[in-house]
Amino acid sequence: EAQVTQNPRYLITVTGKKLTVTCSQNMNHEYMSWYRQDPGLGLRQIYYSMNVEVTDKGDVPEGYKVSRKEKRNFPLILESPSPNQTSLYFCASSLLAGSITDTQYFGPGTRLTVL
């Protein structure tokens, strides 16, 4: 089954404790992306990647890191989480069709709470 998986689905942590949220897709998609969703702010793109070893900043990259060592995986790293990073995080992937992305498939989401 074609899907995007994220782990963990729920995480409660404390300020400053490094964490990684994993994202994996089985559709051989070039484009992968991370978003955060906050009430009243909608979805905001954190980072995206057009292919292995190619990443770029979205609208809200501060406090986050990503890596794309393999095509299927795109982990999101919070080196020193702070309470303002409490949010619902979505990973997504799509094929690239020339200069635009194709249908984006979203993962189920990771609800992160930073105390």
Question: Is residue 5 within the footprint of another protein (CB under 8 A)?
Answer: no
Q: Which two tokens stand for residue 21?
A: 């949220």
Beta strand segments in 14-66, E:
19-25, 31-38, 42-51, 54-57, 65-66
Q: 111: Cβ–Cβ under 8 A, 6 or more apart, which residues? A: 9, 10, 11, 88, 89
Q: Which is nearer to another protein, 16 or 101 (CB)?
A: 101
Rounded least distance, CB 6 to another protein, Å: 9
Q: Which is nearer to another protein, 69 or 99 (CB)?
A: 99
Q: x/- site string to another protein, residues 53 to 72, per CB under 8 A?
A: ---xxxx-------------
Can you tell me the distance from the alpha carbon of 115 to that of 113, in angstroms, rounded to the nearest whole number? 6
Q: Which of 24, 25, 33, 87 binds another protein (CB under 8 A)?
A: 33
Asked if 32 contacts 48 with a C-beta cutoff of 8 angstroms, the reply is yes
Question: Is residue 35 within the footprint of another protein (CB under 8 A)?
Answer: yes
Contact residues toward another protein (CB under 8 A) are: 31, 33, 35, 40-45, 48, 50, 56-59, 90, 92, 96, 99-109
